[in-house]
Structure 1
Amino acid sequence: MSTPFRQFQAFHAIIQRGTVTAAAEHLGISQPAISNLLAQLERRTKLKLFERTRGRLVPTPEATVLFDEIDTVVRGLDHVNQAVFDLQNQKAGQLQVATNHALAFGFMPSEIAEFSKDRKNLTIAFQSQYSGKIQEWVTAGLFEIGICEMPVRQEGLTQQHFHFETLCALPADSDLARHETLTPRLLDGYPFIVMGTDHMVSRRLREAFHSEGARFRIRSHTDLFLNALNLVKQGLGAALIDPFTLRSDDRSGYVVRRFEPSILLDIVVVTATDRPLSAIGRQFLDQVVPRMAAMAVDDAARSRDPL
């Protein structure tokens, strides 16, 4: 014998809310409708579920046993209905985003916090990793959105490109801090902390020094812009730092100057070409992409301050 779920739901609401009136309000139906559902349930089950005592419905022992059995089911359906509502209003689901380390220390956590503020049921998968691994993750479907450095070496990725001007960080007590703009000639022989010799910023910086006939002196190699900045704070030398790392730092112990010629960091937002973005993913990119674009530079605006 099958029993329509609505009858169980009415019965559950009466016990949970205490009165037919409160149960009707909870389910959004009339009092006669909920009384009718209860009568149908008693006829179907051939059980007396309530006694009326002093104008109130008192559950019978049979009703107590039945309530315990259906409580999990009814609550489960309520959660399903809420999840459907949240998904329809982009307030639930999962945000899956992986970024390079530069964005992970301040920019991306701030964006995620703002995005999730009115989405209490949103779950978040957020990782920072090296760019090649991020591309592999998005291709494999482990993450929906990837933000990484160029080049893109994986097939099947949709790409949005951005270019960000790096700035030169110097120890606060450096004599070179008196200059508003630094050049390879001014920094001839000055110790540098670089992001590995093959990194695009290091390679472009080395080429800039070579073009002006200045000596490019490497004091230290590291794998993160944040590491390079911390070494600058300790007085080990200068470093070109991306705007995201500078924004998330307390700006103490060093000074920042523009470097000419401009050295750019190329960033790309990648998603899988063969999988549609979720509504949550689209909403998140609608928030983040314009803010990244506002910090980026183009050929007509290289002199704009990215900070």
Structure 2
Amino acid sequence: MDMLPHANCIIMEHRLVSGLNLRQVDVFRAVMKFETVTAAASALGSSQPTVTREILRLETTVGFTLFDRRRQRLHPTARALKLYHAIEQAYAGLDHINNSLHRMRTADGEILQISSLPTFAQSLLPEAVSRLQRETPGVTVEIDSGDPRNQSPISGFNFDLGLIEGDYDESTTEVIHLATFQQVCLIPRGHELANARGPLRLHDLDGQSFISLGPKDPYRLILDKMLDEAGVSRRIPVIIQSANAACEMVAQGLGITIVNPLTALSHAGDRAVLRPFFPDAKFVVSALHPVDRPWVDSAGKLVEHLKAVCAEVNARLKTYSDAA
């Protein structure tokens, strides 16, 4: 970076004054970003002496040296790098606000914000959103693939509708039951259990290669407990967090798995067979709505489409049960 003149005359001892102004922030950011006073001045449409003065004033304002001056060059100090990081975070927040404003200005109608577990973003939402768009063409749907329960009610839920598995007991949200499904077994085509008659039972898993979900998955914990109580032992060659990935492992012939039917249905076909499983392990799908967030019309419409899609999925699953 270009050397600033008179740098040695700066005395910083306990001279903190009022906070930074926007001009100082812009100049500092430009010097850090473009690495020389010359380039920063050009980017700002200013002159080198002006930028130099602003940097000196900035150092006086903050009360410590931001640049080491060596061999006619400026080298950012550790404090300068930390300040730059904080400023960039602030600009990122401002960019987020501006992007949100832009989306609101350009949207033809409502903006519906959804926070959904990945399973539902890949299975239920595509069809439900398609129906919503046909019914309400102007709506813009923003989907965040995360667990809405991880958002803090203190800082505020940032969604109009959240999709979760199971129930949820929290006064900050309204819980809407969408559907209850039965967990199913996905089996590689050609496997000895693929053509067995009737629902699969716990003892059918004894000695089988089993693709297991992660150790903290609530449905794995339930299944493990049932198998332990029944004295059933499995071989577990793969443990994986994602139900979708577990199904793909099954399709590769690595073993069988028990997962939610929404995910299993998308993998049933040439490489894998879907079979009902007993005892019935319920898989509940719920929608969440923050009670302090006004309802948007499109959220209510999407809930109805989700219920319809869930009912259709349950009807498809019944054909597998009947066939078994």
TM-score of the superposition, structure 2-length normalised?
0.58
Secondary structure at the residue paired with 2:203? coil
Secondary structure at the residue paired with 2:255? coil
Percent identity, aligned pairs only?
Answer: 21
Residue in 2 that maps onto 1:99:
116
Residues 304 and 145 of structure 1: is their aligned pair in 2 closer, same or farther, counting only changes over 3 Å?
A: farther
Distance in 1 separating the partners of 2:129 and 2:153: 19
8 Å Cα contact 1:188/1:214 also seen in 2 = yes
**Residue 158 (1) aligns with residue 209 (2):** no
Residue in 1 that maps onto 2:282:
264
Secondary structure at the residue paired with 1:98? strand
Residues 139 and 97 of structure 1: is their aligned pair in 2 closer, same or farther, counting only changes over 3 Å?
A: farther
**Residue 245 (1) aligns with residue 274 (2):** no
Secondary structure at the residue paired with 1:117? helix
Residue in 2 that maps onto 1:213:
231
Which AA in structure 1 matches 2:251?
K
Residues 142 and 121 of structure 1: is their aligned pair in 2 closer, same or farther, counting only changes over 3 Å?
A: same
* Equivalent position to 1:283, from 298, 301, 304: 301
**CA deviation profile, 1:255-280 (whole Å, cap 9, x unmatched):** 11111111222332111122231111
8 Å Cα contact 2:109/2:139 also seen in 1 = yes
Distance in 2 separating the partners of 1:156 and 1:289: 23
* Equivalent position to 1:177, from 194, 197, 206: 194
Distance in 2 separating the partners of 1:138 and 1:175: 52
Residues 268 and 275 of structure 1: is their aligned pair in 2 closer, same or farther, counting only changes over 3 Å?
A: same
Distance in 2 separating the partners of 1:112 and 1:282: 12
**CA deviation profile, 1:11-68 (whole Å, cap 9, x unmatched):** xxxxxxxxxxxxxxxxxxxxxxxxxxxxxxxxxxxxxxxxxxxxxxxxxxxxxxxxxx
1:1-307 equivalences in 2 (<5 Å): 92-130=109-147, 132-133=149-150, 135-136=151-152, 140-150=156-166, 152=168, 155-161=171-177, 162-180=179-197, 181-249=199-267, 251-292=269-310, 295=313
Gaps of 5+ in 2: 1-103
TM superposition shift of 1:141? 3.4
TM superposition shift of 1:206? 1.2
8 Å Cα contact 1:156/1:273 also seen in 2 = yes
8 Å Cα contact 1:107/1:248 also seen in 2 = no
Distance in 1 separating the partners of 2:307 and 2:267: 22
Distance in 1 separating the partners of 2:135 and 2:301: 13
8 Å Cα contact 2:189/2:271 also seen in 1 = yes
Which AA in structure 1 matches 2:310?
M
8 Å Cα contact 1:165/1:242 also seen in 2 = yes
Which AA in structure 2 matches 1:143?
F
TM superposition shift of 1:93? 0.8
Q: Please give the root-mean-square deviation of Cα atoms over the aligned residues, in Å.
A: 3.0
Secondary structure at the residue paired with 1:176? coil
Q: Looking at CA atoms only, which structure, 1 or 2, has the larger radius of gyration?
A: 1
Secondary structure at the residue paired with 1:177? coil
Q: Which moved more, 1:112-121 or 1:243-252?
A: 243-252
Residues 149 and 245 of structure 1: is their aligned pair in 2 closer, same or farther, counting only changes over 3 Å?
A: same
Which AA in structure 2 matches 1:141?
F
